[in-house]
Amino acid sequence: MLWVKSFHIVFVASWFAGLFYLPRIFVNLAMVPPESLAERERLLLMARKLMRFTSVLAVPALAFGLWLWLGYGIGAGSGWMHAKLFVVLLALGYHHACGVMLKQFVRGANRRNHVWYRWFNEAPVVLLVVAVILVVVKPF
C-alpha cells in the first residue's frame, strides 16, 4: 500500500504543478500585444504542451487515488474522504476550465485580462491545501 500511496502523491504533485503553471501562461498570453504574433504562438505552443502533459499526469494520480480508496478501503465511509472527493471534483473542473480557456486563446476569443488570470491561478493552491489538510488532519 505504501508504494501505491507514494505514486499517488508523486502524480498528484506533478498534476498540480501543471495546474499551477498553466494559468501563469494565460497571464502572459493575456498581456501579449496584438502585433506580437510570434510571442503569442510560442506561448500557445507552451500552453498546449503543458495542458497535454498535465492531462496525462492526472490519469495516474486519479487511478492511484481510486486504488487507495477502493482497493485498500482508505477513508471508506469517512466524512473527510467525502470532502476530499469533492475537492478532487473541483480540481477536475478547474483542469477542464483550463482546457476551455486554452481553446479560447487558440481561437483568439479570450475576453479576460491578465489580472483575472492571476486570481484564477490561486484556485489550485487553495484546493491542494484543503486536500492535504483533509487527508492528514482528517477533521471529520
pLDDT of residue 77: 87
pLDDT of residue 80: 95
Spell out the domain ranges in the chain. 2-137
pLDDT of residue 70: 93
pLDDT along the chain (140 residues), means of 10: 97 98 98 96 98 98 96 90 97 98 97 98 98 96
Residue with grid cell 482546457, as numbered in its chain: 99
